[in-house]
């Protein structure tokens, strides 16, 4: 638990990945949102496709919209989702 | 100053929300409101129903943040934002924004600002049921442009 983060997926990404959330061990050399994205994309398949750099997805860290260089540490809640379409 | 943000599956009644917001406050001179409703057509296809998903926690936080930004720019007395989730059909109400102010200019502007930012920042997603099957709605460039014009 000490070195894990919670990762949430919403809408199309939740369906494509087949899960709404997971606990992920934070690799020792990962300290940013970009690092988390690259770790997930390295799983290959739909992960590599949907989370490729330059794809139109959004992310949040601890429920605030985040960018590639946003810091991520153990215990954080990270979320990946498509561009929003409410209203 | 009161700010109300609700995410709910139940319908809402604009007259009740406005009555609550007005109370007996004689300083209010203007109330502007917006209601978004479900259309029966999108991208040229008929829509039978849609399902709205959101990110609990972040949704409320992001809408409150949008209202705070509006209050920084205009004289806002009270604001109410209600957004529905779950399955909705054409004619159903989706979203309500009500803003009160001393004068109409502030009320109109703040109401439109809140709606434009809600469309592009608040974590809601629509999935439509059409004659061609189910599909996630794509974000619109027009909505991004509507939000960006406030940056100028």
- What's the CATH number where A51 sits? 3.10.20
Interface predicted TM-score of the whole assembly (ipTM), two decimals? 0.94
Establish if A71 belongs to a structural domain: yes
Q: Residue A86: its chain B contacts at CB < 8 A?
A: 52, 54, 83, 94-95, 118-119, 122-126
Q: What is the pLDDT of residue B1?
A: 83
Q: How far apart are CA A59 and CA B142, in angstroms?
A: 21
pLDDT in tens, B67-106: 999 999 999 999 999 999 999 999 999 999 999 999 999 9
The answer as to whether A69 is a domain residue is yes
Has residue A25 been placed in a domain? yes
Q: Which domain holds residue A65?
A: 16-81
- Residues B3-40: tens digit of each pLDDT: 999 999 999 999 999 999 998 899 999 999 999 999 99
Of B62, B95, B125, the CB nearest to A85: B125
Residue A77: closest C-alpha in chain B: B58
d(CA A31, CA A39): 11
Domain assignment present for residue A20? The answer is yes
Query: Would residue A21 count as lying in a domain?
Result: yes
- Please, what are the domains in chain B? 2-151 (3.90.1170.40)
Phi, psi of B33, deg, nearest 5:
-140, 160
* Cβ distance of B125 and A64 shorter than 8 Å: no
Is residue A9 included in any domain, yes or no? no
Let me know if residue A11 belongs to a domain.
no
- Assess whether pLDDT exceeds 70 at residue A1: no
Dist. CA B70–CA B117, nearest whole Å: 10
Question: How many domains does one find in chain A?
Answer: 1
């Amino acid at each position: 638990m000490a070195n894990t983060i919670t990762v949430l997926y919403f809408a199309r990404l939740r369906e494509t990945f087949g899960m709404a959330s997971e606990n992920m061990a934070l690799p020792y050399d990962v300290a940013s949102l970009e690092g988390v994205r690259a770790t997930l994309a390295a799983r290959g398949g739909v992960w590599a496709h949907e989370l490729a750099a330059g794809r139109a997805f959004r992310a949040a860290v601890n429920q605030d919209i985040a960018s590639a260089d946003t810091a991520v540490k153990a215990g954080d809640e990270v979320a990946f989702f498509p561009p929003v379409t409410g209203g | 100053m009161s700010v109300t943000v609700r995410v709910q599956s139940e319908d809402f009644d604009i007259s009740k929300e406005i009555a609550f917001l007005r109370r007996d406050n004689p300083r209010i001179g203007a109330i502007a409101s917006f209601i978004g409703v479900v259309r029966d057509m999108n991208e040229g296809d008929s829509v039978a129903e849609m399902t709205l998903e959101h990110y609990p926690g972040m949704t409320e936080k992001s809408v409150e943040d949008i209202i705070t930004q509006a209050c920084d720019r205009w004289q806002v007395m009270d604001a109410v934002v209600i957004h529905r989730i779950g399955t909705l059909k054409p004619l159903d109400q989706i979203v309500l924004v009500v803003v009160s102010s001393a004068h109409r200019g502030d009320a109109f502007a703040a109401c439109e600002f809140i709606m434009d930012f809600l469309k592009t920042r608040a974590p809601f997603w629509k999935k439509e049921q059409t004659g061609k099957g189910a599909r996630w709605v794509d974000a619109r460039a027009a909505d991004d442009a509507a939000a960006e014009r406030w940056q100028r």
